[in-house]
């Protein structure tokens, strides 16, 4: 009798211990990044441009701007198509074509990020014969697409049908019912989905390796190579210069901060809208 109780206690402690070890890496990594990187983060670091090797100082403005531009372009590609496809799925619900769309979303969802890089390379970089920010955004948009579609569909599926019937009864045409009644009711889920999608792509490096490629200058032309934060961290991290490695830590602080902020926003969003729904 006693032995069973002891086993129970022992295993409970083990579970606590293992769970504790599980979350340790997060703190270890965050503490290390902040310890190494926070010292370098200042106004010049955020607004300056990279300096040649050997000169101290220099900033990562080009990378921050590049990440913003690339993600924004991906956003404008993935959101309309994703929301549209999500509406289609939530309206049709079944049928052969719908099944096919679902399978394709699963395929897109499970495609490794490096493969998306290859695809964007073959579709855009190779025919245009130049690395470009646009090709990187296409790769990221493909990555973001399934998240947007899935969350749109899920949040529109749970809107009660009576809501639509009420609108139809008032003689509102179909497209207006969807745009003015169904979508606003499911907006929280759609926006959350978009935010999750952006935080998924904002830290991605692999699809940009041979598409956006990186650049030490400020570049606003989407058809030319463009810097991005994750790419800069990757390149600096593997460099032999201590100055660059320090800058990579600083960039890591900024990138983590950005992604945590996006996570927080999506959480606040869900909480707030859930109340009003």
Partner 1 sequence: MEGIKDRIFRFLIFLCASTVILIAAGMCITLFINSLPVLKHMGVSFILSSDWDPVNNKFGILPFLVGTLITSFLSLLISLPFSISTAILLGEYLRKGRMAIFLQNIIDLMAGIPSVIYGFWGLLVLVPIVQKVEIKLNIIPYGVGIFTASIVLATMVIPYTASIAREVISLVPDDLREAGYALGATRWEVIRCIVIPHAKTGIFAGVLLAFGRAIGETMAVTMIIGNRNQIPKSIFAPANTMASAIANQFTEATSDIYVSALIGVGLVLFMVTVIINYAGRYIIKRLEIK
List strand residue ranges (DSSP E) for the chain, in order: none
Residue from 5, 169, 170, 275 touching partner 1 (CB under 8 A): that is 5
- b vs e for 96-131, b when ≥16 Cβ sit within 10 Å of the residue's Cβ? eeeeebeeebeebeebebeebbbbbbeebbeeeeeb
Is residue 257 near partner 1 by the rule CB under 8 A?
no
Cα separation of 89 and 100, whole Å? Answer: 11
| Site membership for partner 1, residue 106 (CB under 8 A) | yes
Q: Considering only residues 38, 107, 130, 158, which one is a binding residue for partner 1 as defined by CB under 8 A?
A: 107
Of 35-74, binders to partner 1 (CB under 8 A) are none
Binding to partner 1 by residue 234, rule CB under 8 A?
yes
Closer to partner 1 by CB, 6 or 220: give it.
6
114 belongs to the binding site for partner 1 (CB under 8 A): yes
Residue 91 touches partner 1, criterion: CB under 8 A: yes
Q: Is residue 189 within the footprint of partner 1 (CB under 8 A)?
A: no
Is 273 a binding residue for partner 1 by CB under 8 A? The answer is no
Residue 87 binding partner 1, by CB under 8 A: yes
Spatial distance between the Cα atoms of 274 and 148, rounded to a whole number of angstroms: 18
Q: Which residue in the set 45, 75, 121, 134 belongs to the binding site for partner 1 (CB under 8 A)? A: 121
- Check residue 182 for interaction with partner 1 (CB under 8 A): no
Evaluated on CA atoms 232, 236, 239, 241, the torsion sign reads: positive
Judged by CB under 8 A, which of 70, 133, 140, 142 binds partner 1?
A: 142
Residue 58 or 117 with smaller CB distance to partner 1: 117
What is the distance, to the nearest Å, from the Cα of residue 196 to the centroid of all Cα atoms in its chain?
Answer: 6
The first and second tokens of residue 166, run together, are 């009420």
Please tell me whether residue 31 binds partner 1 under the rule CB under 8 A: no
Sole binder of partner 1 in the list 70, 118, 159, 167 (CB under 8 A): 118
199 counts as binding partner 1 under rule CB under 8 A: yes
Which residue in 71, 73, 89, 124 binds partner 1 (CB under 8 A)?
89
Report residue 62 as tokens: 């080009």
Measured CA to CA, the distance from residue 275 to residue 149 in angstroms comes to 23
Phi and psi for 59 in degrees, rounded to 5?
-130, -170
Alpha carbon distances (Å) from 14 to 2, 23, 100: 18, 14, 45
């Amino acid at each position: 009798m006693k032995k069973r109780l002891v086993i129970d206690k022992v295993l409970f402690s083990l579970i606590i211990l293992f769970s504790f070890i599980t979350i340790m890496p997060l703190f270890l990594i965050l503490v290390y990044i902040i310890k190494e990187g926070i010292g370098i983060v200042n106004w010049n670091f955020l607004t300056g441009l990279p300096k040649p090797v050997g000169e101290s100082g220099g900033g990562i403005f080009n990378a921050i701007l590049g990440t913003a531009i690339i993600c924004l372009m991906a956003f404008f590609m993935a959101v309309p198509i994703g929301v549209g496809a999500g509406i289609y799925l939530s309206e049709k619900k079944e049928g052969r074509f719908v099944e096919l769309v679902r399978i394709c979303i699963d395929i897109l969802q499970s495609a490794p990020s490096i493969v998306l890089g290859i695809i964007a390379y073959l579709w855009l970089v190779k025919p245009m014969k130049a690395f470009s920010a646009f090709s990187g955004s296409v790769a990221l948009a493909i990555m973001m697409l399934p998240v947007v579609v899935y969350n749109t569909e899920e949040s529109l599926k749970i809107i009660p049908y009576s809501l639509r019937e009420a609108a139809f009864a008032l003689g509102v045409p179909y497209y207006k019912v969807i745009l003015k009644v169904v979508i606003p009711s499911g907006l929280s889920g759609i926006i959350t989905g978009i935010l999750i999608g952006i935080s998924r792509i904002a830290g991605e490096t692999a699809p940009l390796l041979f598409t956006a490629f990186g650049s030490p200058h400020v570049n606003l032309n989407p058809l030319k190579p463009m810097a991005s934060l994750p790419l800069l961290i990757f390149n600096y991290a593997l460099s032999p210069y201590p100055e660059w490695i320090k800058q990579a830590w600083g960039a890591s602080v900024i990138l983590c901060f950005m992604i945590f902020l996006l996570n927080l926003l999506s959480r606040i969003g869900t909480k707030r809208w859930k109340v009003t729904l």
